[in-house]
Amino acid sequence: MALNWDDSLLVGNTEIDDQHRQIFVHFERLSLACQEKAGELAIKEILNFMNEYVEMHFSLEEAFMAENRYPKLPEQQEQHAHFRQTVKELQEVDTNTLEPHRLSLLFYQKLIQWFIQHIKKLDQEMITYVWAQQHN
Ligand SMILES: [Fe+2]
Ligand SMILES: [Fe+2]
């Protein structure tokens, strides 16, 4: 499972890249907590903390897109909403009933893989578009 940050995830905007990196730090904490069999409370706390950070990130991105009149803002908003829904569902999971590796896999599939896809498709496309607009 590749969950470490790697530079193929860079979008080319320092603020957004720093936030994406930070989100991956939260993911690593989450996966470590699973491996270390941290209790439900500890895992939920990391999940909540990650959620707050991601919320702030989504708001910044959406404001950035609105400012730059990015035409695919609705698609981004839809995907961000989908992620929020996933986090809500994960917050409801009784983590004590799952084997640590199953829980870790669940986070990997639902959060990390989703984020990698989202950055590589939508976020990189957004920055490329705005950069081209600004340099025309
Ligand atoms: Fe993003
Ligand atoms: Fe995004």
Query: Mean pLDDT, 10 residues at a time, over the chain (136 residues)?
Result: 80 96 94 90 94 97 97 98 96 89 92 96 96 90
pTM of the model: 0.93
Query: Ligand 1 centre from 92 Cα, in Å?
Result: 24
Per the CB < 8 A criterion, the answer to whether 31 and 106 are in contact is: no
Query: Ligand 2 centre from 108 Cα, in Å?
Result: 18
- CA atoms within a 13 Å half-sphere pointing along the CA-CB vector of 81: 6
Ligand number nearest CA of 76 is: 2
Per the CB < 8 A criterion, the answer to whether 119 and 9 are in contact is: yes
Query: Ligand 2 centre from 61 Cα, in Å?
Result: 6
- Taking a 5 Å cut-off on Cβ, the residues next to ion ligand 1 are 123
Tokens of 93: 């999971």
Query: How far is Cα 41 from Cα 52, in angstroms, rounded to an integer?
Result: 16
